[in-house]
Structure 1
Amino acid sequence: MINNVRVSLKEIVGGGYKTFWNYKGRYRVVKGGRGSKKSTTTALNIIYRMMQFPQANTLVVRKVFKDHKDSTYAQLKWAIRRLKVEHLWEWTKSPLEIRYKPTGQKILFRGLDDPMSVTSITVDVGNLCWAWFEEAYQILNEDDFNKVDMSIRGELPPGYYKQITLTFNPWNEKHWLKRRFFDVQDNNILAFTTNYKCNEFLGDDDRQLFDWMKKNNLRRYKIEGLGEWGIAEGAIFTNWREFAFDRFEIAKREGIKSAFGLDFGFTTDPSALACSLVDIKNRELYIFDEMYRPGLLNNEIAETITDMGYRKELIIADSAEQKSIAELRKYGLKKIKPAEKGPDSIKAGIQFLQQFTIFIHPKCSNAAMEFSNYVWDKNKDGKLINKPVDEYNHFIDALRYSMEPIKKRLRLQEVKP
């Protein structure tokens, strides 16, 4: 079955990751900006290593299981083709697995939204040696990581080793990942930062985007370009936490209202749909679903919302996009309406949201990311001012729009005799 294939790893992988590629300690932790090759290099390394170690199996973990299909699963299939060994591998979507045909080794995919599936893993051949946490920043609870860490255990054949790889964008310096892996000296940890400058496979248009970001949005460039830690000083929202609530149980409460809002994106910025349940009496807001995708045309936005099951819902959208709203109605979102906004609507919307205790379901990782990074701006003296920085706010803007009917309802109740 095995045919010899000669490839140049130097040409396929490129530079900047030699130490990472050869490291055999317990933890490999890579934070980096966009386009830094961290995920694609990890995928290549996993495929290459599994073909070297015929008793090794790999577990790939994301916070939400459904996110694998278009990220890690696709990246590993790409790596197989890139290494020209697709004749030796097979992949299935149900169950979501990749199998090395000569030995039966497997790459397994799991999500932290199903804890039992992560902690009760068995393999048919060999040992579970390695794990890869992609978008590890989305894991807000360190204990969720520890449970998987403890499952990579047991005696291995001579020459084998256990290892967990974590890759992520460093949105916030207060995240447990910094304290756990970057603020310590430990011979069992390789933790480093990478960025787009080591990626020789980027096109000129990609580099021009980073040049534009450097000139026009330095804070974002430092995080998404250079891979530096984001600083969350001046957080706007401190009234939220992640909570795995049952949406349908919350919906049974008396007086619960649903709220849907849409913010339109561009080529690189995401279109965001915020879906929540609002307990007006107890001033609680439950964010249960999200859409967060860049580059969507209006017909694709409509298709996505329809597939999510929200076509018939009242959706409050950004009123700056009247033409897009009209198009979405033609595509079947009959109840979509423009936001009213009004004077100083951003600060007013923020103040209204601050009156609620906000619960974000763990599957809404982009909502949590924005709530972690939405901050007040600073003046030339470095002091915070009463104006938010215009970034990490696509979902939050959509959430503000969605709450307009709730806010109007409360105003009407206040003026009743």
Structure 2
Amino acid sequence: MINLNKKYYHLPDIVGKGYKKFWNFKGRYRVVKGSRASKKSKTTALWYIYNLMKYPESNLLVIRKTFRTLKDSCYADLKWACHRFGVDHLWQFTLSPLEATYLPTGQKIYFRGLDDPLKVTSIAVDKGCLCWMWIEEAYEIMSEADFDMLDESIRGECPDGLWKQITLTFNPWNEHHWMKKRFFDNPDPDTLALTTNYLCNEWLDKADLQVFERMKKNNPRRYAVAGLGGWGIVDGLVYENWKEQAFTLDDVRNCKTRCGLDFGYTNDPSASPIMFLDLENKKLYVWDELYKTGLSNKKIYEELSSMGYGKEKFTGDSAEPKSIDELKSLGLRIKGAKKGKDSINNGIQWIQDLEIIVHPRCVNFLTEISNYTWDKDKFGNKLNRPIDDFNHLMDAMRYGLEDDIIGNAWLY
């Protein structure tokens, strides 16, 4: 039992079940891979709010690969956790700077992105020590060296009763990720490596469960990962001609801007890569991305405009002519992709001849391109078509390059 705001709560009623080991573990690394709706992020947020109030010398650093993704993920989850505990009035959440303060003691939750590494390594706390770190969507961190840098930033002596700990939460899309070997394949008493899935989430309703039942029936490969939390088995990548590398607008000054748009809404995201094409040197630079669910056409236009791309030319999925017409009426310069017979494979073949340089901020593009594979039949034989998964930005990339593909002798 706990006493918050002079009210008594039974902790399992708030947190739910399935995370007892996670809740009690005090080793250096808590690593949780899990499916969607497995409660891993919500449970982590609840743990931190509860224990920050319990341990008055503790402070928390929350990390994602790109800073701009924090407000709508960890920041929102931690605010939700305060509300679930009924302690909103004891916490102050601010957007500038992005942080949270426990008002009775002045303890802090700091939010940082790996796109500004100096701000990660130079945090000084006013009270107590920086003893805890939460790395959300840790799959996005593709370099183990970047994680080592974060690991080393949790240093110094802890007050009595506290411990240093890093929590990593992620969806396990690719079995070749460095976290599998480091945390799951080599047991260590200082590491808790867990796999969770939606079956431990007692708060899902029938409609939520039906989503997974349909996935189980229609897309077993995705269900194994997004449903059960298993490692994604990646075999036969469509694109192997890419690398993650930071670059500046000066580096692409003489390139042509190319933008594509794939429509989504409830379950699938609306996806748009902002790209620069150096046709002479056969290089494609992926500079930025839009990747969000729940966007109306008006919201798509507003998002692209707020990102600074409202005046660029886009090529969108022609399967949604009504959406394209509405975006045009809002002021977006967009046309529908021509598509046609063999357009997917022809487009893929043309793009395979490029060198694709992906800016580190494009975390969803990196996830898709490292998981976009050729499909297989029921006997495991590869088919001459890509999987219908991890393809929102991949399709939009093809749309954005359509004029170049057609102009270079690919017939649709």
CA distance in 1, matches of 2:322, 2:91: 47
Contact 1:47–1:76 under 8 Å retained in 2: yes
* Structure-1 residue corresponding to 2:250: 249
Deviation at 1:325, TM superposition (A): 0.8
Output the amino acid matched with 2:74: T
* Structure-1 residue corresponding to 2:381: 383
* Structure-2 residue corresponding to 1:112: 114
Deviation at 1:266, TM superposition (A): 3.5
Provide TM-score, normalisation by structure 1: 0.96
Q: CA offsets, 1:341-376, max 9 Å, x none?
A: 121011111111101110111111110010011011
Q: How many residues align?
A: 407
CA distance in 2, matches of 1:44, 1:266: 29
Contact 2:133–2:167 under 8 Å retained in 1: yes
* Structure-2 residue corresponding to 1:26: 28
Contact 1:315–1:337 under 8 Å retained in 2: yes
Contact 2:347–2:405 under 8 Å retained in 1: no
CA distance in 2, matches of 1:3, 1:241: 51
CA distance in 2, matches of 1:372, 1:361: 14
CA distance in 1, matches of 2:368, 2:51: 36
Output the amino acid matched with 1:70: D
CA distance in 1, matches of 2:158, 2:270: 47
1:358-397 alignment runs, 5 A limit: 358-397=356-395
Matched, 1:286 2:285: yes
* Structure-1 residue corresponding to 2:45: 43
Q: CA offsets, 1:217-268, max 9 Å, x none?
A: 111111111111101111111111111111x112323xx1110001111420
CA distance in 1, matches of 2:71, 2:378: 45
Runs of 4+ in 1 over 4 A off after TM superposition: none
* Structure-2 residue corresponding to 1:415: none
* Structure-1 residue corresponding to 2:168: 166
Output the amino acid matched with 1:326: D
Contact 1:5–1:85 under 8 Å retained in 2: no
1:119-130 alignment runs, 5 A limit: 119-130=121-132
Deviation at 1:98, TM superposition (A): 0.5
* Structure-2 residue corresponding to 1:184: 186
What is the aligned counterpart of 1:352 among 325, 347, 350?
350
Deviation at 1:36, TM superposition (A): 0.2
Residue aligned with 2:230, SS: coil
1:9-408 alignment runs, 5 A limit: 9-246=11-248, 248-253=249-254, 256-333=255-332, 335-408=333-406
CA distance in 1, matches of 2:334, 2:72: 28
Unmatched 5+ stretches in structure 2? none
Q: CA offsets, 1:88-124, max 9 Å, x none?
A: 1111111111011111110000000001010111101
CA distance in 2, matches of 1:178, 1:317: 37
CA distance in 2, matches of 1:73, 1:175: 26
Deviation at 1:379, TM superposition (A): 2.3
Deviation at 1:216, TM superposition (A): 0.8
Residue aligned with 1:167, SS: strand
Contact 1:5–1:84 under 8 Å retained in 2: no
Deviation at 1:295, TM superposition (A): 2.4
Deviation at 1:339, TM superposition (A): 0.7
Q: CA offsets, 1:136-181, max 9 Å, x none?
A: 0011111111111001011111221000000000000000110111
Unmatched 5+ stretches in structure 1? 413-417
Residue aligned with 1:319, SS: coil
Residue aligned with 2:9, SS: coil
CA distance in 2, matches of 1:303, 1:383: 44
Contact 2:139–2:170 under 8 Å retained in 1: yes
Deviation at 1:3, TM superposition (A): 3.8
CA distance in 1, matches of 2:20, 2:375: 39
Residue aligned with 2:123, SS: coil
Output the amino acid matched with 2:252: A
Contact 1:258–1:275 under 8 Å retained in 2: yes
CA distance in 2, matches of 1:385, 1:99: 54
Larger displacement relative to structure 2 (219-228 or 374-383): 374-383
CA distance in 1, matches of 2:169, 2:52: 19
Provide TM-score, normalisation by structure 2: 0.97
CA distance in 2, matches of 1:302, 1:266: 14
Deviation at 1:409, TM superposition (A): 3.8
Output the amino acid matched with 2:40: K
Distance 1:154 1:298, change over 3 A: same
- Fraction of identical pairs, as percent: 56
Residue aligned with 2:356, SS: strand
Distance 1:359 1:195, change over 3 A: same
